[in-house]
Amino acid sequence: MTTAITLDHLIQTRLAEIAEDAWRDHRVMPVRSGDGRVLQLGTGAVWEQWYCQADHDGYGPCNEPLLTSEQASTLTGMFNDDEPIPTPKIPSVEIELLDPSRGCFMPDCLYHWSDVVAEYRKAQG
C-alpha cells in the first residue's frame, strides 16, 4: 500500500511543528484563523496572527499581540531591509514563518505590539 503525502499536508505539519516550538521555547501562540484582532495604528491595520503568553515581569502572561517584521513595517511606515524595531523594549522572538511571496519557510522576528506602538510614536515626532 502506497501512502501519498500532499504538499498541503507537509505545510500543515510544518506549521504545527513551528507552533509547538514557539510555545515550548518562547511561550508564543498562533492565533486561530479568524480569531485574531485587527490592530490599527495611524492609517494602517493588520490582522493579529500571534500573541505572547510569556511572563516577562513576574505579573503573569503578557497577552500582547505579536507582529511579524512585515506587519511592523506596514504599521510604522518604515520599509527597509533592517529590523523595523531596532531597539525593542521586549526582545523580539525569532521563528520560522511561511513566506508566501517566496513559497518557503523563512526566519522572521515577532515584535510585541507595545514596541511597534513606541516605534510609531517615535517616528511621528
User: ∠ CA 41-56-24 to the nearest 5 degrees?
Assistant: 100
Q: What is the pLDDT of residues 64-111, one digit of tens each?
A: 999 999 999 989 887 666 678 988 999 999 999 988 788 889 999 999
What pLDDT was estimated at residue 56?
92
Range of lowest pLDDT (4-8, 25-29, 43-47): 4-8
What pLDDT was estimated at residue 82?
67
What pLDDT was estimated at residue 125?
77
pTM of the model: 0.88
Q: How far apart are CA 50 and CA 40, in angstroms?
A: 15
Domains of the chain, residue spans: 7-124
**Contact indicator for 18, 95 with CB cutoff of 8 Å:** yes
Helical H runs in the chain? 7-26, 69-76, 113-124
